[in-house]
Amino acid sequence: MFPTSLKPEWRNGRRDGLKIRYSKGCVGSTPTSGTNMDTPTLTDVNLRGVAQRLIEKRLRRNSETLKQLHIELAVLDEQLEALRDDAREKELRSLVSETPLALHEFRDAQKHVDAVEDQYAHLQKSIRDLTKDQDDLLDKLGRNS
């Protein structure tokens, strides 16, 4: 042993070696023979419930996003129709007047139409992707039930 002046001041609680000794013995991380691993445990049931709640939460969020995208798509559709009408009118003016200014106005209006059409296509793709994701989540929810 250490003399009292050289004795360490800290202790980790173990005084009998590196392992804590059990008089009865205990099971390690490997299950003992005869343990049935096929029956669902309470943890499995809890995890299924958690997974189901997470899927339901994602479905609700997905549904709200889809509603917003459909509203945005309807507004964009109205704007696109107005921009197309304006571009057709300016195209007709440019053909009749044959001035560089009228042609410039038509090209500018057509650029706006093209940009809004790109945004419209992007929204449609987002709606398709979210709808597919929603279908996948519903399939998962059906399998977990």
Distance, in Å, from the CA atom of 99 to the CA atom of 94, rounded to the nearest integer, reads 6
Model pLDDT, residue 114:
95
**pLDDT(105) > 60:** yes
- Please report, in angstroms and rounded to a whole number, the separation of the first and last CA atoms in the chain: 64
Give the C-alpha distances (Å, rounded to integers) separating 57 from 47, 90, 119.
15, 49, 28
| Count of CB atoms situated within 10 Å of the CB of 16 | 7
Which of 83, 78, 79, 76 lies closest to 120, judged by CA? 76
The residue that leads in pLDDT, 101 or 141, is 101
Q: With 90 as the cut, is the pLDDT of residue 14 above it?
A: no
Confidence of residue 21 (pLDDT cuts 50, 70, 90): low
pLDDT for residue 104: 93
Write phi, then psi, for 60 (nearest 5 degrees). Answer: -65, -45
Q: Has residue 59 got a pLDDT over 80? A: yes
- In angstroms, the CA 19 to CA 144 distance is 43
pLDDT, position 77 = 94
> What is the average pLDDT value for the chain, to the nearest integer?
80
CA-wise closest residue to 62 among 142, 132, 143, 140:
132
Q: The CATH number of 42-144 is which of 1.10.287, 2.60.40, 2.160.20, 1.10.10?
A: 1.10.287
